[in-house]
Structure 1
Amino acid sequence: MPAQTHGDAGHQPEEAAPTVAVTGSAVVDRDLGEILGAALPWDQLAGKTVLVSGAAGMIPAYAVYTLLALNEAHGAGITVLGLVRNLAKAETVFAALRDRDDFRLVEGDVQEEIPVSEPVDLVIHGASPARPALHAGSPVDTIRANVQGAFGLLDLCVRTGARFVLMSSAEVYGQRADDGSLVSESDYGAVDILNPRACYTEGKRAAETIAVSYHAQYGVPITIARFGHIYGPGMALDDGRVQADFTADVIAGRDITLNSDGSARRTYTYLGDAIAGMFTALLVGENTAYNISDRDGFISIRDLAEAFTAARPQSGLRVRFRDDVDVSQYNPVKGQGLDDARLRALGWAPHVGLRSGIDRTIAWHEERRA
């Protein structure tokens, strides 16, 4: 069954929203307009030089786009340096930005010396192997990128007087009881440190400790953004996480088949809302760490799959279960998500939400196939 286009019958488009012409994608540029609509002191970033590591990744790329959107909408005069390991791949991701004077790609690996000699005012550290397959197949590279990357970029902050933002992860909370609770910023669980899969969890934990150590010893201002399960434009269909798998199924016109009863619950947050949350924590937050998550997206994998099929009802897709899965024991309460109370106390609230976020995620892929 061929993929449906965003404007096909059966799909109700959202109301018009402001856009900022940066990427050439109607979906992404609309997101940027909404992010910049947040009542934040964006002027704090005016005239700054910002280094974004791992810039070609899904979440860091949106940070790049947001900074450039500030230049477009407000003449902010921000210079953005995108540190990337694979220059050719990054040039493809940022093809629409190649002629900009306010953005430059820098090729380098955070596991090695950071190839930046010019002064920077803000470092946003997003370089980290994020795909689960990489954690299993390259655990040394995974932990080294997180640990050595933090040391190298924080040394750069010491030299230049820059502020440091760490894109961390909900993984730092470790293993906790799947009791349907929401995890606050101080609720830590256990980690099996002898399991190589801990390379990502322990790498993120270490990066956070390294950051607070540099703050204590050298006075580097830091903000730690702990992202939950994020989805949105830029998410590769072969990423390996369920939100990517479900998007791939809808795009291909396939029924979604679950390999479990789908009872595990997590907080799923749209990328635009997550980036707005990170900048809220950066610009007005007083705490060190913030969960970047939308508690309204705290649902089961099963319900998430249903939401994806419902996003394109004209395709007639269904949620199925593998033949050997026992769905009779389905528990809609099991699981845990991130508590967003600390972030909401700063005035942040999700603008897009789950249903619209899923629609925009699919629409971005449809846009690219058109």
Structure 2
Amino acid sequence: MAKERVLITGGAGFLGSHLCDRFLREGYQVIAMDNLITGDLRNIEHLFKEADFEFYHHDVSSFVHVPGNLKYILHFASPASPIDYLKIPIQTLKVGSLGTHNLLGLARVKKARILVASTSEVYGDPMVHPQTESYYGNVNPIGPRGVYDEAKRFQEAITMAYHTYHKVETRIVRIFNTYGPRMRLNDGRVLPAFIGQALRGEDLTVFGDGSQTRSFCYVDDLVDGIFRLLMSDYHLPVNIGNPDEITIADFAEEIVKLTRTTQKVIYKPLPQDDPKQRKPDITKARSILGWEPKVSRSEGLKITYEYFKSLPTEVLYQRDHKNFDRYIR
């Protein structure tokens, strides 16, 4: 009996590569698709020897063709950090709109179930805390984050339209801050930014007064939540993240202790539209999926730190954007 096939777009990225690992372990044939603008083949090079793994170098903003049957499609092709979407804003909007349209069309033709990766950024700088799926958000569509936030909001809208009008089986996951091995060290997100600064012997940069909060979910927990949502019968958005909230100032101190750096924590002005609070309400995930995170932040940070320490020196000192320090979140 032939194995069922799954297409994972953004498959060479941080989350996409971990999803490839999971679906191969679950016994599926996996097709990873990525244009490698932000993805990296090193994330999936360990899979090229697998008979059930294929890689397609393709931009999903153009027409997507995959021969043969598909059981599932997971759409994770998108820049996901401020460094990326400020550098390539048009591509960010296109992958969220044209790319999602193309993949929903493919799902319709293949009669495949599709899960799209949305984000906690659809809530913007939230005025409700913690954030529930029923909250509509507080988003600035023309601000520096607008290209990413609105691309994801449109993505959710067109996904629901295909579900309602074309009866496509759809799932929507709203992903909160996630971390773990294969993150890009200098992509502008707060966790790799802090660890990278510590490893380079630089002061840790906190923006604002450090009272803004984030909630960090280890990647294995997130992937498990995504898998459960895909296999569920629930078609409305579901938050997947860790509700263990911490201020950025306290988190910086955790990184100082973890890395044993002698550098100090310094403070700079808060960037425009930077969310002041971020914490998922995971009531739906608990009740519908039977899911909640299992990996503690201390445990996950140790694993992630060891990964970053193993990176080559040239990666440690690479900068992905000339204004890197302005966009850490």
The answer as to whether partners of 2:13 and 2:38 remain within 8 angstroms in 1 is no
Out of 336, 340, 348, the position equivalent to 2:291 is 348
Q: Structure 1: 5+ residue runs without aligned partners? A: 1-45, 71-75, 327-333
Q: Structure 2: 5+ residue runs without aligned partners? A: 271-275, 314-329
Alpha-carbon distance in structure 1 between the residues aligned to 2:218 and 2:182: 12
Alpha-carbon distance in structure 2 between the residues aligned to 1:365 and 1:248: 8
The code of the aligned residue for 1:320 comes to V
- Structure 1 191/254 Cα, relative in aligned 2: closer, same or farther at 3 Å? closer
The code of the aligned residue for 1:47 comes to K
> Which segment is superposed worse, 226-235 or 110-119?
110-119
Q: How high is the TM-score relative to the length of structure 1?
A: 0.77
- Structure 1 301/200 Cα, relative in aligned 2: closer, same or farther at 3 Å? same
User: 5 Å matches for 1:50-199?
Assistant: 50-70=6-26, 76=27, 78-86=28-36, 90-177=40-127, 181-195=129-143, 197-199=145-147
Query: Would you say 1:304 and 2:248 are equivalent positions?
Result: no
The code of the aligned residue for 1:354 comes to R
The answer as to whether partners of 2:198 and 2:261 remain within 8 angstroms in 1 is no
Out of 309, 325, 329, the position equivalent to 1:366 is 309
Alpha-carbon distance in structure 1 between the residues aligned to 2:143 and 2:293: 35
The answer as to whether partners of 1:157 and 1:164 remain within 8 angstroms in 2 is yes
- Structure 1 95/265 Cα, relative in aligned 2: closer, same or farther at 3 Å? same
SS of the equivalent of 2:54 reads strand
Quick check: which has more Rg, 1 or 2? 1
SS of the equivalent of 1:321 reads strand
User: 5 Å matches for 1:255-334?
Assistant: 255-284=203-232, 286-296=234-244, 298-312=245-259, 315-322=260-267
Alpha-carbon distance in structure 1 between the residues aligned to 2:45 and 2:126: 42
| 1:339 alignment partner in structure 2 | 281
Alpha-carbon distance in structure 1 between the residues aligned to 2:95 and 2:38: 20
Aligned residues: 306
Percent identity of the aligned residues?
A: 30
Alpha-carbon distance in structure 2 between the residues aligned to 1:147 and 1:109: 13
SS of the equivalent of 1:82 reads strand
The answer as to whether partners of 1:266 and 1:299 remain within 8 angstroms in 2 is yes
Alpha-carbon distance in structure 2 between the residues aligned to 1:52 and 1:155: 15
Alpha-carbon distance in structure 2 between the residues aligned to 1:278 and 1:317: 38
RMSD: 2.3
Q: CA deviation at 1:56?
A: 0.9
The answer as to whether partners of 1:85 and 1:109 remain within 8 angstroms in 2 is yes
The answer as to whether partners of 1:128 and 1:145 remain within 8 angstroms in 2 is yes
Alpha-carbon distance in structure 2 between the residues aligned to 1:79 and 1:124: 13
- Structure 1 261/280 Cα, relative in aligned 2: closer, same or farther at 3 Å? same
| 1:242 alignment partner in structure 2 | 190
Alpha-carbon distance in structure 1 between the residues aligned to 2:240 and 2:76: 14
Cα deviations across residues 47-101 of structure 1 (Å, max 9, x unaligned)? 310000011111111110111222xxxxx2x110000103996433222122111
SS of the equivalent of 1:223 reads strand
Alpha-carbon distance in structure 2 between the residues aligned to 1:167 and 1:359: 27
Q: How high is the TM-score relative to the length of structure 2?
A: 0.86
Alpha-carbon distance in structure 1 between the residues aligned to 2:144 and 2:187: 20
The structure 1 segments of at least 4 consecutive aligned residues displaced by more than 4 Å after TM superposition are: 87-90
